[in-house]
Amino acid sequence: MNTPSLLILAGDGIGPEVMGEVKRIITWYGDKRDMEFDVSEDLVGGAAYDAHGTPLTDETMAKAQEVDAVLLGAVGGPAYDDLDFSVKPERGLLRLRKEMDLFSNLRPAQCFDALADFSSLKQDIVAGLDIMIVRELTSGSYFGEPRGIFDLPNGEREGINTQRYTTSEIRRVARSAFELARKRGNKVCSMEKANVMESGILWREEVTWVHENEYPDVELSHMYADNGAMQLVRWPKQFDVIVTDNLFGDILSDCAAMLTGSLGMLPSASLGLPMENGRPKAMYEPVHGSAPDITGQGKANPIACILSFAMALRYSFNDGAEADRLEKAVEKVLADGARTADLLGPEGGSPISTTEMGDAILAALDASL
């Protein structure tokens, strides 16, 4: 296979700061593990708007379609709040997701032991937690037609969104969840509202079809999404992989993410269908935004962006061993007490900078050799 290609779109605010640390880690892999990447960089979001009057140029979009994986920092900021909706920074991100057809959004909720006190839940409920939420990202009620706000003859107004799914849309995201489960704890829990929604009945039937016909070796259970929300905060360790639709996934993944503490710790991956070389279309990004309140101060926690790169190693480059190495390096620096400002509890302490956190992770990577 050719040298794997990466397109880095650092974006706005703290995006370039946290991505700076990822770039050092990519260089480390080239120097110390003989893993070369063909890296190119481009603009997205407000940075692209400033340079080109659009949050994503056609050229950048075309590059994103060609590479093995896109690494994205963050987009947005107060300078762009008053722009027309069509050129807002977030439109760049949405265009990437839509045109690359990234239908499977992976949001891990993993609690590093050193940060277990950070959760709003009791320590024993979250310590060692490692679950993965797979959210369908390109269909369902955020895209379904008809949609809109309509005037009714009686003078009232009516707001409509349509929850709709087709067989193929459900089957492809279900496959993605079963594949992941095989690499983890081999369990999938599918969540919907089949008790009150036809789209939920179809979801349950199609996930069951994929299970019976293609993944009978994986354990499958079904849960109504409202019960799923309760179970996530009651005893989250009962889950391995959760697969759910766009709307429920939006809510459940935010809920699960907060089990683990800081926004600065949360990575994500969005995957599409396999390309000709067998790798999935893919974009990796931290869950957090551009954090304008701390931009340019060296305070940003780079771990979410670094763990997003670890996901790229695992899911685009099929290198679980190197992904483990990077995740363990992060775990080690946290266990040793390294904390950016967002990871300090109410008792305070002395925070380290973005670059110092990068230094510590690189040192832990060196120590792993």
> Smallest distance from the beta carbon of 191 to ligand NAD, in angstroms?
23
> Smallest distance from the beta carbon of 241 to ligand NAD, in angstroms?
23
Among candidate residues 101, 113, 254, 359, the one labeled active-site is: 254
Q: Which is nearer to ligand NAD, 88 or 193 (CB)?
A: 88
Can you tell me the distance from the alpha carbon of 126 to that of 120, in angstroms, rounded to the nearest whole number? 9
With CB under 6 A as the contact rule, the residue among 91, 107, 204, 288 that binds ligand NAD is 288
Can you tell me the distance from the alpha carbon of 243 to that of 188, in angstroms, rounded to the nearest whole number? 7
> Smallest distance from the beta carbon of 303 to ligand NAD, in angstroms?
8
Structural tokens at position 3: 């040298």
> Smallest distance from the beta carbon of 114 to ligand NAD, in angstroms?
17
With vertex at residue 27, the alpha carbon angle to CA 26 and CA 29, rounded to the nearest 5 degrees, is 65
| DSSP secondary structure string for all residues of 252-311 | HHHHHHHTT--GGG-EEEEEEEE-TTSPEEEEEEESS---TTTTTTT----HHHHHHHHH
Q: Which is nearer to ligand NAD, 200 or 267 (CB)?
A: 267
Alpha-carbon dihedral sign for residues 169, 175, 181, 186: positive
Q: Which is nearer to ligand NAD, 46 or 280 (CB)?
A: 46
Q: Which of residues 316-345 bind ligand NAD (CB under 6 A)?
A: 342
Of the candidates 65, 43, 62, which has an alpha carbon nearest to the alpha carbon of residue 54? 43
Alpha-carbon dihedral sign for residues 163, 164, 167, 172: negative
Among candidate residues 23, 193, 281, 299, the one labeled active-site is: 193
Among candidate residues 50, 217, 226, 366, the one labeled active-site is: 226
Can you tell me the distance from the alpha carbon of 72 to that of 44, in angstroms, rounded to the nearest whole number? 9
With CB under 6 A as the contact rule, the residue among 115, 180, 304, 364 that binds ligand NAD is 304
- 50 carries an active-site annotation: no
Structural tokens at position 282: 């893919």
With CB under 6 A as the contact rule, the residue among 38, 205, 226, 293 that binds ligand NAD is 293
Can you tell me the distance from the alpha carbon of 88 to that of 77, in angstroms, rounded to the nearest whole number? 10
Q: Which of residues 34-93 bind ligand NAD (CB under 6 A)?
A: 74-77, 90, 93
> Smallest distance from the beta carbon of 121 to ligand NAD, in angstroms?
20
Q: What's the first-to-final CA gap in the chain, in angstroms?
A: 25
With CB under 6 A as the contact rule, the residue among 228, 280, 289, 358 that binds ligand NAD is 289
- 254 carries an active-site annotation: yes
Q: Which is nearer to ligand NAD, 246 or 301 (CB)?
A: 301
Piece of 25-33, 129-137, 235-243, 286-294 that binds ligand NAD (CB under 6 A)? 286-294
Among candidate residues 12, 245, 250, 319, the one labeled active-site is: 250
Q: Which of residues 206-265 bind ligand NAD (CB under 6 A)?
A: 263-264
Can you tell me the distance from the alpha carbon of 106 to that of 84, in angstroms, rounded to the nearest whole number? 30
Q: Which is nearer to ligand NAD, 93 or 132 (CB)?
A: 93
Q: How many CA atoms lie within 13 A of 289 on its CB side?
A: 10
Can you tell me the distance from the alpha carbon of 199 to that of 140, in angstroms, rounded to the nearest whole number? 9
Q: Which is nearer to ligand NAD, 36 or 293 (CB)?
A: 293
> Smallest distance from the beta carbon of 225 to ligand NAD, in angstroms?
23
Q: Which is nearer to ligand NAD, 255 or 263 (CB)?
A: 263
Among candidate residues 63, 101, 142, 237, the one labeled active-site is: 142
Of the candidates 354, 363, 365, which has an alpha carbon nearest to the alpha carbon of residue 303? 354
Q: Which of residues 16-35 bind ligand NAD (CB under 6 A)?
A: 18
291 sits near ligand NAD (criterion: CB under 6 A): yes
Can you tell me the distance from the alpha carbon of 84 to that of 30, in angstroms, rounded to the nearest whole number? 42
Place of tokens 């949405």: 94
- 250 carries an active-site annotation: yes
Site for ligand NAD, rule CB under 6 A: 14, 18, 74-77, 90, 93, 263-264, 285, 288-294, 300-301, 304, 342
User: Which residues are known to be catalytic?
Assistant: 142, 193, 226, 250, 254
